[in-house]
Each structure stands twice: as structure tokens, then as C-alpha cells.
Amino acid sequence: MNNNTTKHIIWFVLFVLLQVLIFNNIKLFGYINPYIYIAFVFFYPLKKEKTTFLFLSFLLGLCIDFFSDTGGINASATLFIAYFRLPILSAILRKNDFDFLLFNIRSISFGKSLLYVLSLTFIHHLIIFALEYFNLNEFGSIINKTIITTILTVFLIFIGIILFTKKR
Amino acid sequence: MRQIIKFLEKYRYFLLFIILEFIALSFTIQSHSYHRSKFVNSANSITGGIYGKLNSINEFWSLKSENQRLLEENTRLKNILSLEPIEIDSTKYTSRYRYFSAKIIKNDYTKRNNYLLINKGSKNGVKPEMAVVNSKGIIGVTKSVSNHNTTVISILNKYSQVNAKPKNTNHFGTLSWNGKDYKTVQLLDLPRQAQFKVGDTIITGGKSTIFPEGILIGTIKDFEKNDNVYNFINITLFNDMSSLSNVNIIANIQRKEIQELENTNNE
């Protein structure tokens, strides 16, 4: 228990530092920065206390906001996907009584885990860019940026999954 | 009463979500307002410290080009000095602006609303709404100030509005950015009488209390005129906003006086 808490805190700090020090400076094609820190939301165990998880996601987003001067954009988007993680996962796995105590992203099929990561990433990025532009006239730019960034983020997160998790 | 408690217990997870989401959105909306200083900014000591450390490493890569730029600026200033008469009569000569030097330790240009971070703060005399420039031209306006760091609203920001004009006319417009290309900004609300052509230089207008007149901005790239009204005027910036390092902050000494005057006029 204690060991696990320490592990989550370390991951939390690591994701913040990785995001602000490295991935905010990638600038692919001159303007695309992936938001890899949301992998924290994907990997946080489902069996843990849900309120703590909401608070942690909110704090994670707020930390990124502090670094990148974005008001509360990252906090609200991360909180949103944290809240809707469970409903989306149970919709994808098509049963309500799946064994989420033992849930592991490598234990479900590749297609399903891709759908899980892809849908949450897309929602997150859509909220981020919609709040950042805050103008319906620029809807084209919002969608454009959301799609390109989602592809890059999902790609990087899957590389991370393959490199850093054990296959069950 | 019991029912309310039961209700709260049943939906506490959802309620927590709503409350936190509300807080996050209020931070977001607060950051959209120009005048209110916001709580979530990178000028605090933790984020400022981390960015300062990171910059001291990254600075190394741009040393050569930055030295070159500073050398050119020095030469230009020395040339101007040699043209000036040597004796300056201090009774006639009153400076309106004071210059500070600072260094950019965090630079953003990929977002819709970009903010920079500089390594000088209120301990060095920086206040909100001062101009930030370098030798090539305009960069932004200071916003949130902490003891040792200050955030700067870049001109690549939806909420940045700078008074600007073509160099050879006295017609003014507002400089803004459409979020597409970090090398190009737009000049809006220029009256249709204004005459200019592609390649003309755009400078700051001096009709605000923030920027002195004549700070360089860029050259006109292209424009479209429809029914004698300018649809858009694109301006190529002189500054490369993706690599900035040493900057000057310009404080308007008479700013308070001017604002007091304006306020008395409004009454």
C-alpha cells in the first residue's frame, strides 16, 4: 500500500517534469506538442479510491497549467477524462462486470486498448484546444490541431506502453 | 435534512467532479481577462526556478547567434551616439522611458495564446503592463509579476492588442494574431484612407502608454482590399519569435501621470 502510494507520487512528478521539460518543446512541424502526461490517467489503477483519483488528475492538470500559463485548461480536460474513464472503459469492454480489479492495459486486446487510449486522448485534446481558442469561428483549426496532436500523443503513449510495461 | 445528506452521499463523486471542473473553468476564464492578475501563472518561484535552471543549459545552443545580434545592436547604438552632440543639457533633457535588461527563460509560440517568462521581477522594478522588446523589434507586454520572475503576453496571443501604424503615415491600427503562423501577425482596424504598399515597415504607434513610438514590428507581407475597406493586412515580423533570449523591458515613467489625466477627463 505504502509502496504503491510512493510509486504513484513518483510517476506523478515524473509525468509533470517529462511534459514540461521535454514534450512541451518538441514542436513537431513547428507547432505540434504531444500531451503525454495523460498516460497517468490511463494507468492509474481502477480499484483505487475514486475521489483521490479525481483530485490527483485535477492536480496533475493544474501543475501543467502552472508551467505553461494556460489558466485551468489542462486541469479541466484531465479531470473530465478522469471522470469518464470508467464509463468509456466498460463501454469498450462491453460488459459491466468485467474484472477491473485485475485490469491491465496489456491484458486486453490491442484493438480495445487502442480504442480506450484513442477515445480518451481525443476528448482530452478536443477540450484543451476548444478552451484555448475559445472561439467557434476557429473550429477548423481546433479540429485540425486536435486530430494531429491526438495521433502523435497516442503513438508516443503506445511506444511507452511497449517499452515500460510487462506483458501479462 | 437526512434526504439531502443521502443525496450528497449518493452523488458525492459526481459533485466533486462538478466542483473541481468549475474551479478549473474559472481559472481558465480568469486567464482570459487582461487586467485581472491571475493565480495560475509560471512566475512563481517553483516554476520560475525550474525554467531558470533549464534555460541556463539551453542557452548554450544559441550563444553564437545571440552574441552576433548583441554585437550588431552595440554597433548601431554607438553609431547613433557618435551622431549626437556631446553635451547634454540635463535641464532640457528629460527621458520618458527607462530600460531594464532581462532574459527570456521560457518561450512559447505554438499555442493560440502564448506567454513568455523572463527572469526579472518586482525586486528589479518590473511592473505589470510594461513593454518588452529587443533590438529587432516588439515582443510583448508584461503581465503577472512575482519577486524574481514575470510572465509576458507575447504578441502571438489573442489577448495582445498593440497600437501600430505604417511608418510613413499617421493612421493607426491594432496589431493582433490569428493563431496560424508564428512569423506573421495581422494589422486590424486601419482606416481606409491609409496608403501603403507591400514591403512597408510597420512600427508601434505611441498612442498607448505602454510602447514608445517607433519600435519596429515587421514589414507588410500582403493585404486584401474590398470595397475600400482592408480585409486583412499580414505583417512579417522582424523578430524570430521561436528563438528569443536577451530582451529589454521599457518602463514609461510618465505612465501614472498620463493615466491620472485620462481618469480626470472621464469624470
Q: Average pLDDT over chain A, rounded to whole? A: 84
Chain B residues in contact with A62 by the CB 8 A cut-off are: 24, 27, 40
- Best mutation site among A26, A60, A69 for testing chain B: the one with the most B CBs within 10 Å? A69
Residue where the block lists cell 509533470? A16
Strands B229-237 and B184-188: antiparallel
Residues B248 and B141 in one domain: yes
Of chain A, the percentage scoring pLDDT greater than 90 comes to 30
Lowest mean pLDDT among B14-18, B98-102, B196-200, B227-231: B227-231
Give the pLDDT band (50/70/90) at residue A143: very high
Rounded to the nearest angstrom, the minimum Cα separation between B252 and chain A is: 26
Averaged pLDDT for residues A26-43: 85
Closest residue of A to B25, CA-based?
Answer: A72
What are the pLDDT digits (tens) for A79-137?
999 999 888 888 887 765 556 655 667 777 788 888 889 999 999 999 999 988 888 88
CA dihedral A75, A78, A81, A86 (to 10 degrees): -110
Enumerate the β-bridge partners of residue B204. Answer: B164
Please enumerate in sequence order all residues whose Cβ is within 8 A of that of A53, keeping only pairs 6 or more positions apart, or say none: A44, A82
- Best mutation site among B14, B21, B145, B183 for testing chain A: the one with the most A CBs within 10 Å? B21
- The number of distinct structural domains making up chain A is 1
Enumerate the β-bridge partners of residue B202. Answer: B166, B218
Query: Looking at the predicted structure, is the pLDDT value of residue A24 above 60?
Result: yes
- Best mutation site among B10, B12, B23, B110 for testing chain A: the one with the most A CBs within 10 Å? B110
Query: Looking at the predicted structure, is the pLDDT value of residue B261 above 90?
Result: no
In a domain, B37, yes or no: no
ipTM value for the complex: 0.83
Residues B130 and B171 in one domain: no
Report the pLDDT value the prediction gives residue B240, as an integer from 0 to 100: 87
Contact B41 A141 (CB under 8 A): no
Say whether residue A27 is in contact with chain B using an 8 A CB cutoff.
yes
Report the pLDDT value the prediction gives residue B52, as an integer from 0 to 100: 86
In a domain, B262, yes or no: no
- The number of distinct structural domains making up chain B is 2
Report the pLDDT value the prediction gives residue A153, as an integer from 0 to 100: 93
In a domain, B258, yes or no: no
Q: Three-class SS of residue A90?
A: helix
Domain that holds residue B132: 45-82+93-157+244-252
Report the pLDDT value the prediction gives residue A31, as an integer from 0 to 100: 76
CB atoms closer than 10 angstroms to residue B206: 16
Domain that holds residue A67: 2-164
Contact A54 B20 (CB under 8 A): yes
Domain of A82: which CATH number?
Answer: 1.10.1760
Domain of B220: which CATH number?
Answer: 2.40.10.350
Chain A residues in contact with B28 by the CB 8 A cut-off are: 70-73, 76, 131
Closest residue of B to A58, CA-based?
Answer: B20
Query: Looking at the predicted structure, is the pLDDT value of residue B37 above 60?
Result: no
Query: Looking at the predicted structure, is the pLDDT value of residue B85 above 80?
Result: no
